[in-house]
Every structure is written in C-alpha cells, then in structure tokens.
Structure 1
C-alpha cells in the first residue's frame, strides 16, 4: 500500500488544487495502511481506520456533528482514488473496494448580521499580549479581509486565500476594473467543486479598491506580516472564542452565511446557486427554509375550505 499511495502522490496529487492537503491525508493513510498489502484492504479494515480517526482532528473541534469517523471519510476517498489510479495504470487487475463511513449530517451553522459584525470588530481591535503587556500588534486584523470577502462572495476558503491582485498561474484573482472575482485558479483543472467567476457587490468592490491602494505592490489579497496566508484555522478559532461565538463557526460558515442571507432576501434559489457555484438542489436542501416564502402556498392551502 505504501507503493500504491506513493504512485498516487507522484502522478495525481500535483494536479490537485491543494496538493499539500493531499499530502497530509496521505501521511495519515501511510501510518495505518503503509505496511498492509493491497489484497488486505476490505470493509473491516476501513472501519477500523475510521474508528482510529473518530474524535480526532476537525471532528472534535467542530462539535462532533460530522458523524462517526467523519475525519476518515476524506482520507479513505483518497485511498480509493489511489487504488483506482493504480489499477488504471495496469499495476493490478483485481477488484479492491474501499468502504467509506456513513455520511454525517451536514452542518447548518451560519452567522447573523450581528454575529458577523461582532467577529469583524473582534479581529480588528484585538491586540497581542506579551508577558502581560498589551502591545500595538494586531494578530487578527488580517482576518477582516478574509471575513469580508467570504461573506460578500460566498467563496470557498481556498479561493480567498489564493486570491491575488493580478492574474497568474495557479492563482485566483480579483479584477476590480471589471468588478469580478475569478475564483478558479488559472491553469488548474476543473473539479466537481465549481468555482465560477462572481460579480463583486458594490460594498465589497469599495473595500477591495481601498485595500489595493493600501497594498500598492502585487501580492495576495489576504496577507499576514507581508506573506500569503496558508490557513486561517488557528487564527479564526481564536477570533471566534474572543467574540464569544460557538466552536461550530469555521471558515466555511462564511459561505453558509452568504447563502442563507441571499435566500432570506428572497433571491431565487437558482440565482443563489449560480452565485455560489453549486447546485440549486443543494441550496433548496440546506437553505430553503430561510426563504420568506417558505411553504407559504402549502400553509395557506391547508387551512382553506
């Protein structure tokens, strides 16, 4: 299995949107499956892996609502892909099945306008404390750009952190002149997670224009100490605690918030889906109940003679 995973990392992973994340998952897979043979992979072994991952990583920190072995599901999907690639390349011809854990219930957490304002204000004013002395350093201020861009565009965290002021290979970019955020990284292959270009809201465009003037030089939209930000997980977790919000608030909560706000405004679900780059059915399933006209016709009809 170590050979199977290595071939996948060499051949396929470099083309992924976030190959470093694929490498992290591969490392966990190697720890458990690395010394196993390909013909040992079965449902019992996959369930054992899921049990070993239960309660670790993102599952526990996000409130444990991803279901049993939730953190293992994405890992095992990579294992399945690695075995599939190994077979397609002709290295083995037997059928090897990877059994995935049951899909957990999707999180429904989004921010109210007041919560979003509180989180932004916390990121803007928080100062770093060193040896009991409050300094002028603002360790969370870079999150303000991330939060605003996420709330106003509904973009995935990776597209926001990868965004630059100018076009370039492997980067998403903001086109202030045309009022567009090109979320799909240039030159990257299309995946099932669509990332179409999105129109900039007037308020967001004003923010971006000001940030561009402040930045001057070319670079990423979200920066910390002059360098691009790889992840906001730790910083955002701290901001959420300081703002008094629950641990279920994550980077993806911004995307959920954008969707729920648009639906609550009465925007047709088809247009919301197009704005976020997802299916209309997903919008209906997860956010339909916040629409101001949700089931109005049925509720009125049931009481009529």
Structure 2
C-alpha cells in the first residue's frame, strides 16, 4: 500500500544552503538561506494557499469562507491592503476552524486575543459578511452562525485647539511634507489616504475646486471624498507650494520625490517634541475640522457635504458643538 503524502513541507538543501519546498515528487526552491526560516515558512504558506482549491460545502473552514468573500465580492471595491489586513488577523485565529465554531464564547475569546476592541469589532463584522456570502454562493450552510460583536465604542470627542495646532506646526517645519499634510487636513478635514493621494491635476485654481478622488476611482460607501471648494487660506498655501514644486510635479505631499503613505512616525515625533497629548493623531484633523465648522455656526448640510459624511453622522457626533444646539428647548418651563 503506497505511503500517504505528508503534504508540502520545507527541506533544507545543504548543498545549496537554501530552503526548498517539497510537495510529493515536486520541488520548489525558495532562495532563502538557513537563517531566513521565517521568510521560508511564509513562502511555504503562500505555496499551500496557491495549491488549495475551494470547494462548495455546508460546513467549510473559515479560511475558505474569508478567501471566497475577498476574491468574489470585495475585488475592486476596497483597498487591497485593508482587506488583507483583516483577513490576516481573522485567519491566524479562526482559519483552521469550521464555521460551526463561530460561537459567542469564541467571539469573546477572539476579542480578548486581539485586545483592540475596535479592530476586533470591524473584523468580526467582516466575518459575518463573509459567512453570508458563502451561504448564498457556496452553501447552503447547515446553520448560518452570527459572530457576536463587542459593543461599539463611544464617538471620539477630542479635537485640536489652535494653540496645539501652532505648536505642532512649529515642530513640523523640520519635515515640510508633514507640514503640508497637516495644513491640508486642517482646512479640508480629509482622511489620511485622501491627502496622501492628492495630485496637482486635482486642483483647479481658476474655479477654486479640489477633487479628492481621481475621476473613475472606486470608493467605499462609508469613505466618501467628494469635490470641495477651497478656502482662501488653503488656496494661498497651494499656490505657494505649486511654485516651489514646478510644473512637472505630480503629487502634492511627497517625501523624497514619492507620495507619502503613512506619516505616523514623523507625526509622532512632532507630537512628542510639541509636548501634545497622545490622542493627537493624524485623524484628529478630521474631528477638528468638523468641530470648528459647528462652533462657527456653519450650515450643517454644507459642512457634511464638504467633509464627505452624512448629515445624520455630523449632527450625532458633532452637533453639540454648535452654539445653537438645543437653544430653543433649553429654557422650557
């Protein structure tokens, strides 16, 4: 009787001094040396994933459910990096389990494992959507489990004062790209990814309109970035930067000639040097813009459109900053 295959595995080729993947009679060199065992194991995992064929089932492994959902439903709708991040965290804990193991107790254990409740809540919601997709396209499942989500966190109430902004900008002068990032965020309330993707071709100085997404680019329903009218102060900054960058410049915020991705390291350095609270993160620029709009009695409908959020969300989270909030009922006798 033939011996059962042990499946794909790593083997160290002493002659070449590198790790090799052995799968039955087949071999695939990884090119990684002895001390690069971690990279070789990742290559093995990628190889196993590439060889695995997803089959319809009424009780599949959760790893198959997540992969099918990402490949069939989310392709082209969300950023690849965002999807892979959630799948990686879910698969590392849930992947080898069948969908029948999605219980309230296991969900609580996952939240404890992740520690960050906000991330765990988003990832478990992702898992619920993946299970529903599998039930519809590859099932039906014997039972459609529903992952138990931790309570939603309270809306963030912090915003940045003008004194804090001035202190931060004084430190950001050491990194011009960070100062640009801050100024655009302060005057537009745009998300980090939007600011990082801004190009000079998206700015029309004649009409005063700035596009925040390239024409035809996809965007998630809850991450809208509509065109906006630029204020005089922002326009002045942009015109000055354009003169400095020249006609051939492409992106507005760059570091060493390339568009920035995540300014967290330089941001954190400037925050510490300015001796500002730990809650002063890049996203606080969006909260600050919304708060300032409400405090200055700007029209809520126009404010919501400029920020790319729903009117309901604006009034729910920031409405209490408006001077006229509950003014007509506060003196009721």
Moved more, 108-117 or 282-291: 282-291
- For residues 278-297 of structure 1, the aligned pairs below 5 Å read 278-297=309-328
State the alpha-carbon separation in 2 of the partners of residues 9 and 164 from structure 1.
Answer: 29
1:207 counterpart = 2:237: yes
2:163 alignment counterpart: 114
State the alpha-carbon separation in 2 of the partners of residues 20 and 242 from structure 1.
Answer: 31
1:20 counterpart = 2:81: yes
Aligned-pair CA distance for 1:72: 0.6
User: Normalised by the size of structure 1, how large is the TM-score?
Assistant: 0.81
State the alpha-carbon separation in 1 of the partners of residues 224 and 90 from structure 2.
Answer: 27
Task: Say which SS state the counterpart of residue 15 (structure 1) adopts.
Answer: coil
- For residues 140-179 of structure 1, the aligned pairs below 5 Å read 140-166=175-201, 173-179=202-208
User: Normalised by the size of structure 2, how large is the TM-score?
Assistant: 0.75
Q: CA RMSD in A?
A: 2.0
Moved more, 178-187 or 271-280: 178-187
Alpha-carbon contact 1:15-1:189 (below 8 Å) kept:
no
CA deviation vs aligned residue, 1:59-81 (integer Å, no higher than 9, x gap): 5xxxxxxxxx2221112122222
2:226 alignment counterpart: 196
1:49 counterpart = 2:110: yes
CA deviation vs aligned residue, 1:34-59 (integer Å, no higher than 9, x gap): 111122212221111111111xxxx5
Larger relative contact order (CA 8 Å, sep ≥ 6): 1
1:134 alignment counterpart: none
State the alpha-carbon separation in 2 of the partners of residues 146 and 80 from structure 1.
Answer: 36
Aligned length: 269
State the alpha-carbon separation in 2 of the partners of residues 242 and 175 from structure 1.
Answer: 36
State the alpha-carbon separation in 1 of the partners of residues 77 and 264 from structure 2.
Answer: 20
Alpha-carbon contact 1:122-1:243 (below 8 Å) kept:
yes
- For residues 266-277 of structure 1, the aligned pairs below 5 Å read 266-277=297-308
State the alpha-carbon separation in 2 of the partners of residues 237 and 24 from structure 1.
Answer: 22
State the alpha-carbon separation in 2 of the partners of residues 10 and 163 from structure 1.
Answer: 28
Alpha-carbon contact 1:2-1:34 (below 8 Å) kept:
yes
CA deviation vs aligned residue, 1:192-227 (integer Å, no higher than 9, x gap): 333211111111112112222222224221111111
- For residues 1-305 of structure 1, the aligned pairs below 5 Å read 1-54=62-115, 59=116, 69-94=117-142, 95-125=144-174, 140-166=175-201, 173-185=202-214, 186-216=216-246, 217-302=248-333
Aligned-pair CA distance for 1:237: 1.9
Task: Say which SS state the counterpart of residue 142 (structure 1) adopts.
Answer: helix
- What stretches of structure 2 of length at least 5 have no aligned partner? 1-61
1:136 alignment counterpart: none
Aligned-pair CA distance for 1:13: 4.0
Q: 1:246 to 1:183 in 2, by over 3 A?
A: same
Moved over 6 A (4+): none
Aligned-pair CA distance for 1:141: 2.6
Alpha-carbon contact 1:151-1:257 (below 8 Å) kept:
yes
Larger Rg: 2
State the alpha-carbon separation in 2 of the partners of residues 106 and 77 from structure 1.
Answer: 18
Task: Say which SS state the counterpart of residue 163 (structure 1) adopts.
Answer: coil
2:24 alignment counterpart: none
Q: 1:14 to 1:211 in 2, by over 3 A?
A: farther
